Amino acid sequence: MAGRYSLLENSRPKGIFQMKSIGPRWPRGCHGGVTNAIILGISTLILNTAIAGWLVAANGFDHNLVVMGRRSCKSTRNIITIVQLIINVLATLLLAASNYCMQILSSPLREEVDAAHAANKWWWIGVPNCKNLRYLPWKRRLLLLTLAICSLPVHLLWNSTIIQELPTNNYLIAAVSTEFVSGAPIDAFNFAYQSLGEAERIEERLESMRHNFENLTVAKCIINYAKELVSDYNNVALVTNVHNSSNSLLGLWEYDIRSPSDQTLYPLGLNWPCNITQSMAVATVDCNLAKLAISNATYWNPFSGHPFNSYPSVVDSSVGYCLAQSTHRTCRISLTPTIVWIVLAANLLKVVCFYGTLIVLRNSSNPLITTGDAVESFISKPDPKLSQRCLSSMSQVKTDPKFWAASEMPLQWLPRHQVGLCGTSLSMWLWLFVPAVTGIGSVTCLFIIKDLNRFLSFGFSSTNKSELIIQNNDNINFGIVAGTLLANTPQIILSYIYTAYNALITSMSSHSELLRYSTKRHGLRVTQPIRMQRSSYYLSLPYRFSIPLIIASAILHWLVSESFFLVRVITYAQDGTEDREEFVSAVGYSSYAILVSLAVMVFMLLAILAFGLGMRYSRSMPLAATCSASIAAICQPAQGTEFELDLAKLPLSWGSVGQEFADVYDQYGRRVKHATFSSGRVSPLEGGAFYQ
């Protein structure tokens, strides 16, 4: 203990001792923040690699997937929900770390700012932005763009590393006479057009149903087969009120999730319980299946209503009950190794970029990362081009075309009520609200066009085929990668919205932080604090804002992963065997999760709007944060004077320093004052007074 610490006397008042560490210290400020990002990236990489390696070694490959387990569909979906929650938390933390490093990489050096000011240009300071890219040296620009690009696979693919495999049955639908149950003959030759062998196989399947079936009421039959992703039942016989003892088979159809064109029987589309003959003619039949089950509890006629009917004997018949073959199948949880390797590569590249950011930070002299860094730099070395313009605001620099050509003329201070919105720009709000409102509006229109009640009939993380984005033909079959890209495209939009949201709230907070110097003395918050300066573990967004934003973003990413998700459908043939060659990859969506996601997104948009309108800025200082030119203008010594040595290392306040110039600048004899940073006493700006 004695070797690591020493007691320092005379550093505090008499009788008080200070324990000071003389051992290695954890990096402070931005160095500590980037170091934490590196640790996060390495930890995530090791965790992903270890889990993926163990799963592959323990389970092996099955059709390019690693089957991790078989459980009930509800259990597998719950497990995937928990896993995706963890994934989205880690992905959001990596996104925040990437945003942190990209802001550092986009921050200018002092010499770069001086060159820009000499060319009548300016840099953004302390706020995430893309406009600084055009001025960055190519190495930093390449590192920043690489970091941004390698963030895409993390949000675009990571959620689909674990997928659910859903079982479904391809099955026969047979309309039979009342005598079917009592053993009347079955002749399927006229129903199978390819071969006698096919007819014999159909007859065998129907014959087995006489001895191995579950008797379902009409309502239960409709409800179970209207799921359309049917895993509990296979072939079904619809027992009608028609009497035929010579051939109990009256009609024959088949349902196939892929509906291939080479089917031997009449293929059925979705919602066939509403009307079989219409379902043969069109892809879907619009009807309310829940109401159908209730209204047809005792009388169900799915055979009429369309002129195309090859089985006239059943047109006017009704179904009394169903005989269904029971098949209780389980779902699978599978790992997609190809996607895992891509995510691991992106994770590794992200760690390399984090380390590159740390090297850039260590090798850079005077990087202006925070507003405090810029204030310290311009106090230590004022920019002569912007002298005697102490009331220059960010809006004046951006909107006044004569700003750079103006002479050192005094400006009158006219205090105004300003809210948080004034610390941003219209373009920043448009970059956030246009994509967000467009996405919300598109999904809302989908709910309006479709039947909202039908959407809400499915639960959270639904796996009904009615909520699978899949086309009912054989030339559209989403592959794993294609389905992953489709399912996770909203994640990229959310990542962009997070960045835009972060930039908005950071800009408003930066102005608020700078304005506090006009009301109270503070030490500057810089990346390399000395003496009375403060450390900068966060850049420009305080933890009280950044932590809730990260939590909200993680929740929203998770909700969207529950709203749209990749699934693979395992098909079982009519004889009950698994089809090992035909898999259907699809994108599932959950109506409830989509509604909750929309609610959270709307709440976040309203929250930042309320924040911008509710924040009140001090009326004793111009809004100068985030703009290098306006910051340089408010950090000028009084005319004919210089700042005291090491002024930037002391607690500072901003205001009128009380000096008045002898010269009269206009015919009214008005005297001109000056406002700047000082470690001594300053006075608030006077409304109507002139300053330069």
242 vs 175: CA distance, rounded Å: 10
- Residue 468: pLDDT band with limits 50, 70, 90: low
199 or 40, greater pLDDT: 40
Residue 355: alpha-carbon gap to chain centroid: 25
Select, from the ranges 56-65, 294-303, 344-353, the one with the highest average predicted confidence (pLDDT): 344-353
Q: DSSP letters along 459-512, please?
A: -TT---GGGEE--SSTT--B-HHHHHHHHHHHHHHHHHHHHHHHHHHHHHHHHH
pLDDT of 287 = 60
Compute the average pLDDT of residues 123-128: 88
Confidence of residue 296 (pLDDT cuts 50, 70, 90): low
pLDDT computed for residue 266 by the predictor: 47
Higher-confidence residue of 30 and 234: namely 234
Q: What is the pLDDT of residue 97?
A: 92
pLDDT of 269 reads 53
Mean pLDDT across 256-273? 55
CA distance 589 to 586: 10
Q: Which pLDDT value is given to residue 7?
A: 35
Which range (15-19, 29-33, 87-91, 451-455) has the least confidence?
Answer: 15-19
Question: In this model, does residue 501 exceed pLDDT 60?
Answer: yes
pLDDT at 540: 65
* The pLDDT of residue 665: 58
Question: Of the ranges 147-151, 258-262, 363-367, 447-451, which one carries the lowest mean pLDDT score?
Answer: 258-262
> pLDDT by residue (tens digit) across 363-383?
887 789 989 899 999 999 999
Nearest to 528 by CA among 377, 642, 633, 652: 377
Say what the pLDDT of residue 260 is. 45
Q: How confident is the model at residue 94 (pLDDT cuts 50, 70, 90)?
A: very high
pLDDT value at position 230? Answer: 84
Residue 68 banded pLDDT, cuts 50, 70, 90: confident
| Structure token digits, residue 634 | 């408010």
465 pLDDT higher than 50: no
> pTM to 2 decimals?
0.80
Per-residue pLDDT, 280: 47
pLDDT of residue 653: 92
Other beta carbons within 10 angstroms of residue 52's beta carbon come to: 18
If one compares 289 and 566, the residue with the highest pLDDT of the two is 566
Q: Where are the domains of the chain?
A: 5-161+336-614, 166-332
Q: What local confidence, expressed as pLDDT, does residue 562 receive?
A: 87
Measured CA to CA, the distance from residue 635 to residue 518 in angstroms comes to: 13
H helices of 226-336, where?
A: 276-281, 289-295
- Gyration radius from the chain CA atoms: 35
Which has the higher per-residue pLDDT, 366 or 243?
243
Residue 601 reports pLDDT greater than 90? yes
Residue 46: CB partners within 8 Å, gap ≥ 6?
Answer: none
Least confident of 62-76, 102-116, 244-258, 283-297: 283-297
d(Cα 61, Cα 271) in Å, to the nearest integer? 36
Q: Model confidence at 98, in pLDDT bands (50, 70, 90)?
A: very high
Residue 80, pLDDT above cutoff 70: yes
DSSP class per residue in 582-612: EEEEEEEE-HHHHHHHHHHHHHHHHHHHHHH
Whether 16 has a pLDDT exceeding 70, the answer reads no
Q: What pLDDT score does 582 carry?
A: 67
Mean residue pLDDT of the chain comes to 80
Give the pLDDT band of residue 228 (cuts 50, 70, 90).
Answer: low
What b/e sequence results for 261-271 when a residue is b if at least 16 CB atoms lie within 10 Å of its CB, and e otherwise? Answer: eebebbbbbbb
Per-residue pLDDT tens digits for 168-218: 888 888 889 998 888 888 887 776 555 556 778 888 888 877 778 889 988
**% of the chain surpassing 70 pLDDT:** 79
pLDDT in tens, 386-436: 888 888 888 888 888 788 876 667 788 888 888 888 888 888 899 999 999
d(CA 379, CA 367): 15
pLDDT number for residue 209: 78
Task: Give residue 467's pLDDT.
Answer: 55
Please measure the distance between the N-terminal and C-terminal CA atoms of the chain and give it in whole angstroms: 57
Nearest-angstrom CA–CA distance, 468 and 567 = 9
What pLDDT score was predicted for residue 197? 64
Question: What are the tokens at 619?
Answer: 């009326």
Least confident of 3-7, 147-151, 510-514: 3-7
Torsion-angle region of 60 (φ positive above 0: left; ψ -120 to 50: alpha; else: beta):
left
615-666 tens-digit pLDDT? 888 888 998 888 999 999 999 988 778 888 889 889 999 998 865 544 545 5
Per DSSP, the residues of 426-465 read HHHHHHHHHHHHHHHHHHHHHHHHS-HHHHHTS-TT---G
Q: How far is CA 76 from CA 123, 165, 331, 462, in A?
A: 51, 9, 7, 12
Q: Give me the mean pLDDT over the 105-122 stretch.
A: 92
The structure tokens 């941003």 sit at 424
